[in-house]
Amino acid sequence: MKNFVVKTIANAGALAVAVWLLDKITLTGDSTAKKAGTLIVVALVFGLVNFLVKPVVKVLTFPLFLLTLGLITLVVNALMLLLTSWVCGKLELSFHVEGFWTAVVGGLIVSVVSWALHMVLPDED
């Protein structure tokens, strides 16, 4: 359970950095507390998308992974971020990613920051 909470906090932090750095990734809210709550829910959606969809996409894109020497991972991460944005729109959460290239850069930011936070935060169960 502690591992799940740590991963959710790391995802929320990584998404917050992406929102802060990129103008076309937006998170709106009336107050800071409401934005933080929305960010936690978006991190849960992002974690769920990565848990359910990403393994299937990785298996389907394995030949492209070999062909591009792993660069297709940037595209897969961008698609996961766009899917999260779409799901958040359906759930009426105020998180939106505008455009594929924004999603590519956002996915790269989320990956790097999430990795760094996983190195700092404890992850034992």
Mean pLDDT computed over every residue of the chain: 90
For the entire predicted model, the pTM comes to 0.88
What span, in angstroms and rounded, lies between the C-alpha atoms of 72 and 109? 16
Q: What are 79-93's pLDDT values in tens digits? A: 999 999 999 999 999
Q: What are 18-58's pLDDT values in tens digits? A: 999 999 999 988 888 889 999 999 999 999 998 999 899 98
* pLDDT at 107 > cutoff 70: yes
Instruction: Return the top range by mean pLDDT from 4-8, 22-26, 68-72.
Output: 22-26
> Who contacts 48 (Cβ-Cβ below 8 Å, separation ≥6)?
none
Alpha helices in the chain (DSSP H): 2-21, 32-52, 54-60, 62-67, 72-90, 100-120
